[in-house]
Structure 1
């Protein structure tokens, strides 16, 4: 800025030797040449004394004049305690470059961003000691724009301190380019008007004209609602009439038209004034700039609107619940999936969940709302009049705490009906024979091994069934007839078994029957004999008549039996049955 810093730090009052090779005396002489005298500042926390240089009256004047030459420098007049005060007439500065003075003579620090206040305090302290202090800071209302603030003690000439504000630009612009935009923070934040009982303005202070941009002549004689946004007029009239009827102060928030065509959010406090005749009463209206607050509300509203648009576009139903189970928010897809309208409680919202899943869902929901871990579960949703189809849904319950804004829970609901259907189809294909509907070989063996591994005092019997002359049916009547004969045989076998017996097809014309929980071996022999009778018959097929008969081997478990071993025993007994005339089931005997 054309004024050397002039600060030389040394230990305990001894100037430290400069590392640049310039002696302290030369620097001292240089400062004297600019009219700056050295003095010792109070010791710092580390006990080190800072040698500062007091700027002479001439140096302060040159600094002030140099900064004033910059066309965009604004000037603030300050009292010794830092309050903003009216500039004296002797301070020959254009009025548009003077920062307006608030009615309450607010401190300069109130203009600054909170993060820069401490640095500004240090600069002010330096000004009081040396005559000049400089700091780079941001304004509270313009956090992205940087200013260089230079405070100068000019009491010897003007009777006040002056603070010069030079715009350094925003973070996104070249600092060398100076902005023509006036400082938003210099606009008054409060003002006052006087109005008649009918709302016509009869007077307005200077702060009102600077806040709104209108001249007093333009404001006086106009009805205040003339400047209000059309959407706010009715509300302002209601507040005014309420004040008149109750004789109590009223408040209202409206958008006020400014002279530049913009809208400014203000809060108007109408203060009732008693008068013998209401038509002679003059009401006082205190006006406060609430644009920052309303801008914050608008930002929240926009974010909420964006959140709703996002949640409505997701392929997931979302349900936010309060800690008491009340519905805070439900997106549109959720109501479609559950077949219910937006309700007040979780129970109403989830009313179409099937009864068999209701208890598990209620328990999980109460656990999560009580601070328990997140939960996942599947439920069946009963058909609604709109869908007419039962659905299967996966629900993820996520606990919410104060960190998310309010305790409660978030339920994410996904329709997995098609996924469950595909999963079931894969399970069926992996478990059952596609032709006869019997268990396939792998599943039959797994079931048998499971039964044998269960610790109980019962026996497990197996029946090995091999259809006779099946190849000749395929050769004479065709494979379709052979398939038809297999389906008939499977159906007849199932018809004579117990409810918990298992039928498996383990080969082309071979069936394995698993009979668990037997008291004695004779029981499985009886079952095998019933099977033999239903498989001894002529069967009318689409392609002709075929003879159905089977060889049947029977085995019963003993201690230490394995699935493969038991099947091998039944298979051996089946071959013995083939040799019998007439054929009959044969029980394996060691």
Structure 2
């Protein structure tokens, strides 16, 4: 048998191997024509997206994508089709492709696409992997790294990072920084125990979280000190939020076995920055100065300072 004949005899066997791989691999494999219509799909694809056998064929690819990403996905595909590379991983290092299951739920996908042809017509084939569990795991790690374990609020490093982003996005608006200090907190630990102290911390954290807007940024600065950034608010509005937080916390009752019901108060320093004056370090320093004045004046009160352009220049 010649070498040419031996190679030819392997072709049918190779096709069977490839067919077996396509139909039994855990990754989804899907092929679309140049109109974006699904012409090939393996059982793993149907399983990933929750469709029954054969139902995806002749459907537009968009049925597997949330509507909000249709335009973005079409641009990615067009860019790949007009390029010179034969294969490409879709998405970015910091982002994944969103997929839509038949029941409407969304999943995170890793997708590699390549160009080929079938029956003389161009076809684009995608190898799809459901990476939702991996994404959830990474998000959990990120949340743990950024969150104070007791309060559930942002830790100091994450608070700074989030505020810097917000300051950049709201440079032309009024912004406020607040530092809270729980009055007499050391006495709570000494008199009632550290578990009681943890309960007070948790209670104030809940009050803070439930008293602010979705755009506000709250964190635990350390110990019994908390921080709050309020973008797009003038003085009167910011003061109203801070006073609401203080009132809600002072109204909370704490009951520990063997002790009468207790209530606690909080002091606050508020720094309000005019448009163009929202420097993070200056706002924190001014809020800390205002907090010191509130504590020196007897605690259980709010002191407010305004940061103007001339103050930054001095």
Task: Give the TM-score taking structure 1 as reference length.
Answer: 0.45
Distance in 1, matches of 2:222 and 2:268, equals 15
Alignment of structure 1 residues 297-312 onto 2, 5 Å: 299-312=10-23
Shift of 1:527: 2.7
- Are 2:67 and 1:355 equivalent residues in the alignment? yes
**Aligned equivalent of 2:163:** 448
Contiguous gaps of at least 5 residues in structure 2: 92-96
Q: Can you list the C-alpha shifts for 1:302-354, whole angstroms capped at 9, x where unaligned?
A: 2111112233443421123333445453332222112223333252x663433
Kindly report the root-mean-square deviation, in angstroms, between the aligned alpha carbons of the 2 structures. Answer: 3.3
- Are 2:4 and 1:323 equivalent residues in the alignment? no
- Are 2:246 and 1:532 equivalent residues in the alignment? yes
Q: Can you list the C-alpha shifts for 1:386-423, whole angstroms capped at 9, x where unaligned?
A: xx975322222222369x97521111101101111111
Q: Can you list the C-alpha shifts for 1:257-292, whole angstroms capped at 9, x where unaligned?
A: xxxxxxxxxxxxxxxxxxxxxxxxxxxxxxxxxxx8
Could you say which structure has the larger radius of gyration? 1
Shift of 1:426: 1.7
- Are 2:198 and 1:483 equivalent residues in the alignment? yes
Specify which of 167, 170, 177 is matched with residue 462 of structure 1: 177
Shift of 1:517: 1.4
- Are 2:130 and 1:415 equivalent residues in the alignment? yes
Is the deviation greater in 417-426 or in 327-336?
327-336
| Greater strand proportion | 1
Specify which of 94, 100, 106 is matched with residue 381 of structure 1: 100
Shift of 1:480: 2.6
Aligned partners of 2:115 and 2:123 also within 8 Å: yes
Aligned partners of 2:180 and 2:227 also within 8 Å: yes
**Aligned equivalent of 2:237:** 523
Aligned partners of 1:372 and 1:399 also within 8 Å: no
Distance in 2, matches of 1:497 and 1:319, equals 46
- Are 2:107 and 1:396 equivalent residues in the alignment? no
Contiguous gaps of at least 5 residues in structure 1: 1-141, 146-291
Alignment of structure 1 residues 5-404 onto 2, 5 Å: 142-143=1-2, 296=8, 299-340=10-51, 341-342=53-54, 343-347=56-60, 351-365=63-77, 368=80, 374=88, 376-377=90-91, 378-382=97-101, 384=103, 391-400=107-116
Aligned partners of 1:577 and 1:583 also within 8 Å: yes
SS in 1 for 2:135: helix
| Greater helix proportion | 2
Change (3 A) 1:523 1:425: same
Change (3 A) 1:372 1:486: farther
- Aligned pair count reads 295
Aligned partners of 2:151 and 2:205 also within 8 Å: yes
Aligned partners of 1:464 and 1:512 also within 8 Å: yes
Aligned partners of 1:383 and 1:391 also within 8 Å: no
**Aligned equivalent of 2:94:** none
SS in 2 for 1:573: helix
Change (3 A) 1:463 1:327: closer
Task: Give the TM-score taking structure 2 as reference length.
Answer: 0.79
